[in-house]
Amino acid sequence: MKKHNFYPLFCKIQQYAWGKFGTNSIAGKLWSSNQDKILDSNTPYAEFWVGDHPNGPSEVGLKSKKVTIPEFFSQDLSLLGPSILNFTNNEPRLPFLLKVLSINKSLSIQSHPDKKLAKRLHSQRPEIYKDPNHKPELAIALTYLEAFVGFRDPLEIYNNLMNYQPCKDLVGVELVNNLKKQISNKDGKAVAKTLKEIFKAISTAKADIVSTKADELIELIHNKSENEFTSDEKLILRLNKQFPGDVGIFLSFLMKYRHLKPNQAIFIGPNTAHNYLAGEIIECMATSDNVIRAGLTPKYKDVEQLIEMLDYDILGKPSNQIMDGVEIEKGIFQYKIPVQDFLVQIIHMGKNQTLQLPTSHSSSVFLLLNGTISNKDQDQQKYSSGTVWFIPQDSEINISSHDQTVLAVQAMLGKN
């Protein structure tokens, strides 16, 4: 078996407004350690990126200098390895991007196109949709995570519309009655059609009407005593503080409210409405910029496109499932997903343990999230949290922990 060096990576931070501030941000602390930078308590540190995305390519630490990952690969294509080169049709790039997100307030309500739609949108509007790729993603909770992923059960949507008059007003009585009838008839296609019309009625309502109805909704909730608030109502109040009078407040009545514990994960495929609300996660995705938004954001919204692309066929079907990792070897957990663009494994080690990472079928990136490790094969240096490596295909990597437990993540190409 070949033994290869690993290559240290120095990675970028994204300071989006929704990020956590200063040392409250895991993403920020990883970047601070990785780049030997001091965090500013008044700056939001939202996303720590590991990969070769053009908006934030990592740099490879060589003996005499640092070069970007694209430059590194251009010097020797074999570093990417045959598996990735075959997947990318010999394009010198990583097909995945690994991130850590620290979420202080809601991201936008959004979805990502499948490959067919992505190609069409890129062809028609390349200034907005900058690549022809899809963007499936996996979120693994580092802390307790709140998110919207997919639609609620149709009956729950109906009950929400009936229980909150301002939302019912936006939708209209006819659509609400149609939904109830179609649910009773167990007519999945009709439910999907009506749900699409309901989503459209809310998301295309005039801004002044939405704002007025949002005020009515907040007043309706505040008419109850605080100890009677449901979890949905507490969230609506929070969202209204973050984005006063935003249409996303009403879209939340349609979307499934998820709660993930640390190490739990959820896969988000194409044409699925979602957004992260609070918490910190590991996220891995196919490398793409294609995001289509409809609410809870000051960014560009393409509401009509989102309405047309979403999958509303949900009656009697399992929604996006929260999953646990599968332990493939002691302390190594993989998350099974239906795409080949990436595969993620979480590594847990106790104190003073040694572990050989499974020899990867593709080149990979490795991020140490917590603890201190040494690499027995390359040197005796101690590596702390924020350490990132690029590991070539077929490498043997033996790591040892010290006086702390270790948490790490490794991303690679998925298997056929």
Tokens at residue 349, please?
């080690």
Region 394-412 average pLDDT: 93
* pLDDT (tens digit per residue) in 358-393: 888 899 999 999 999 998 766 678 999 999 999 999
| CATH architecture classification, 153-251 | Orthogonal Bundle (1.10)
3-state secondary structure of 409: strand
* pLDDT (tens digit per residue) in 152-181: 999 999 999 999 999 999 999 999 999 999
Residue 3: predicted pLDDT: 53
* pLDDT (tens digit per residue) in 258-273: 999 999 999 999 999 9
DSSP letters along 160-192, please? HHHH-HHHHHHH-HHHHHHHHHHHHTT-HHHHH
Cα dist. 265→56, 103, 141, 284 in Å? 25, 16, 6, 11
Please state, in angstroms and rounded to a whole number, the distance separating the CA atoms of residues 279 and 274: 15
pTM, 2 dp: 0.95
Tokens at residue 7, please?
């290559």
Catalytic residues: 293
Average pLDDT along the chain:
93
* pLDDT (tens digit per residue) in 217-256: 999 999 999 999 999 999 999 999 999 999 999 999 999 9
According to CATH, the superfamily of the domain at 1-152+254-325 is Jelly Rolls (2.60.120.10)
The percent of residues above 70 in pLDDT, for the chain, comes to 98
- Asked whether 389 and 405 are in contact (CB, 8 A), the reply is no
Q: Which fold has domain 326-412?
A: Jelly Rolls (2.60.120)
Residue 267: predicted pLDDT: 96
* pLDDT (tens digit per residue) in 38-79: 999 999 999 999 999 999 999 999 988 999 998 999 888 888
Residue 300: predicted pLDDT: 86
Whether residue 2 has pLDDT greater than 80:
no
Domain limits, the chain:
1-152+254-325, 153-251, 326-412
Tokens at residue 31, please?
């970047």
Whether residue 396 has pLDDT greater than 90:
no
3-state secondary structure of 315: coil
Residue 4: predicted pLDDT: 59
The reply to whether domains 1-152+254-325 and 153-251 share a CATH topology is no
Instruction: Give residue 209's pLDDT band: very low, low, confident or very high (50, 70, 90).
Output: very high
Instruction: Give residue 1's pLDDT band: very low, low, confident or very high (50, 70, 90).
Output: very low
Nearest to 332 by CA among 308, 360, 372: 360
